[in-house]
A and B are shown apart, each in its own frame.
Chain A
């Protein structure tokens, strides 16, 4: 459930929303034998490990216990933010900038594979 649905549910507090959330949690536990709190802890630890190597989009991570092809599975959907998708950074334009890799004024620019990420982690 995304943030908007959760806000609406808290506002409405009708019984079906409560039912749906209870059902979601109980099915996770029934299917895997893993209590929801442990699952949450697992999720945070997995995010921490993956974040050591790539930047992840924490707000859109989904982790569920589901059932497919006869097996119970822990399915994690972790969007990774790559350099290509990073927000654009304002580079001041100077006429006569040399065409080689290094800018004449030494300003920091986002680099690709070889350089560090431009945004902070």
Chain B
């Protein structure tokens, strides 16, 4: 059975599309799925760095689109998970180097051998976004709980609905429970009420994400922290499981809970 092409987009830049694509890919692969991630941010590639594969790139998306190599030659396999692959973007050239139909064709080809093809979209609503969305079976919209990100997400939702790829599901990234409690940050309900689409997941702000990016090892490899668990829950929901949402105001875990978590039993 062919897999699903899921495009991760946002409109606004810097909200966490690449981080979420990388971590979702790892989490799905840890669930036993076969996953290929595609970076469509041509000219400003980043998915390779976040996944720790930047030193092993030989061919990229533009090479495949222009026929210099077959797509399988451009795929880089993850060192830790044998069913996880990356198709990197080019660091030279720009978004005009490929056309939406070409990316859609590549997605269709990869779909046949994967459970999931995750497409990391660049910021914006122009060609790069059009490329990323062309082959999508479904769309994940990423936003942070800030006014400009939510406004951009709304525009993107409108665009994908107009293209017939809607309605999409939402991931709210970098929520800070302390600020929400103080009344200085929009909460999950506020964002969902504004955007009116289904919630796929909420990821709390977590310094460990930056540390993981420094090391080139996506945080989803360590599912114990707040953000790590959120990525895994999102992966499970994407795969069709009903996973209850974690309360963002976590109670202080008891010693027993903490021990169980360390042992991987919680």
Contacts and interface: CB of A to CB of B under 8 A. Distances in A.
- A and B associate in one complex: yes
Query: How many of chain B's residues touch chain A, expressed as a range?
Result: 20 to 34
A106 to B, nearest CB: 55
Nearest to B187: A16
A31 B154 contact: yes
A16 B158 contact: no
B190 A70 contact: no
Nearest to A19: B147
Interface in A7-54: 12, 14-17, 19-20, 22-24, 26-27, 30-31
Nearest to A69: B161
Contact of B196 (A22, A26, A66): A66
A24 B147 CA distance: 10
Given A30-B151, A31-B154, A67 B196 contact: yes
Contact of A27 (B182, B190, B194): B194
A72 interface: yes
Contact of A24 (B161, B166, B194): B194
Interface residues of A, number: 18
Contacts of A12: 183
Nearest to B193: A20
Contacts, number: 46
B104 interface: no
Nearest to A22: B147
Nearest to A72: B158
B154 A27 contact: yes
Contacts of B147: 19, 22-23, 26
A16 B194 contact: no
Contact of B190 (A15, A20, A72): A20
Contacts of B150: 23
Nearest to A15: B184
B10 to A, nearest CB: 16
10 contacts: A14-B183, A14-B184, A19-B186, A22-B147, A23-B194, A26-B147, A27-B151, A27-B154, A67-B196, A70-B164
Interface of A: 12, 14-17, 19-20, 22-24, 26-27, 30-31, 66-67, 70, 72
Interface of B: 147, 150-151, 154-155, 157-158, 161-162, 164, 166, 180, 182-187, 190, 194, 196
Given A14-B183, A20-B194, A30-B154, 4 more contacts: A15-B183, A16-B186, A26-B151, A30-B151
